[in-house]
Amino acid sequence: MPAADVNRRLVQHADVVIGNEEDYSAALGYVLDGVDSDLLDLDAATYARMLEQVLADFPALAIAAVTLRQVRTASVNDWSGVCRTRTSFHQGPPMAGLEVFDRIGGGDSFVSGLTYGLLQGSDVDTALAFGIAHGALAMTTPGDTSMATLAEVRRLAAGRSARVIR
């Protein structure tokens, strides 16, 4: 049985699904029409349509989210994310020109920030901003585990500086 078939059977039992465009295409079989193969032009409307289809295909899902990474160079990335609930589409704040130190862990940190926000009862836009901020902080520091504090994530999610305050 192809992996996408197995994954689709598993997602039927999930409340939330989060990934990047490759996860949705390779792991679940979705096609992103209009996205170039280099992933340099990530149009939010394309992702809105795909996530709407994901939620239509999986009635148990409450939310589906995608990280958006535009790789400008090996060390400079644009970073953001989008998500869809049963009632609305949300586009997170863009973080353009991140100087990436280690991109491993960015997606995991996105998931933990988004999850934290949702579990704390934040609105979806705030939770999405937490995910984007936490992922950005993780990628711009050494290692694959975030060392960011909650205060740093909150500050960056609010559009303020990522500067370390001691």
Phi, psi values for residue 117, rounded to 5°: -60, -45
Note down pLDDT in tens along the chain; length 166 residues. Answer: 588 899 999 999 999 999 998 889 889 999 887 666 655 567 888 999 999 999 999 999 999 999 999 888 889 989 999 999 999 999 999 999 988 887 787 889 999 999 999 999 999 999 999 999 999 999 888 877 788 889 999 999 988 765 555 4
**C-beta separation of 105 from 165 below 8 A:** no
Residue 9 has, within 13 A of its CA and on its CB side, a CA count of 5
pLDDT value at position 166?
A: 43
**CATH number of 3-157: 3.90.1150.10, 3.40.50.300, 3.40.1190.20, 3.40.50.2300?**
3.40.1190.20
Mapping DSSP to helix (H, G, I), strand (E, B) and coil, where does residue 125 land? helix
Give pTM, 2 decimals. Answer: 0.89
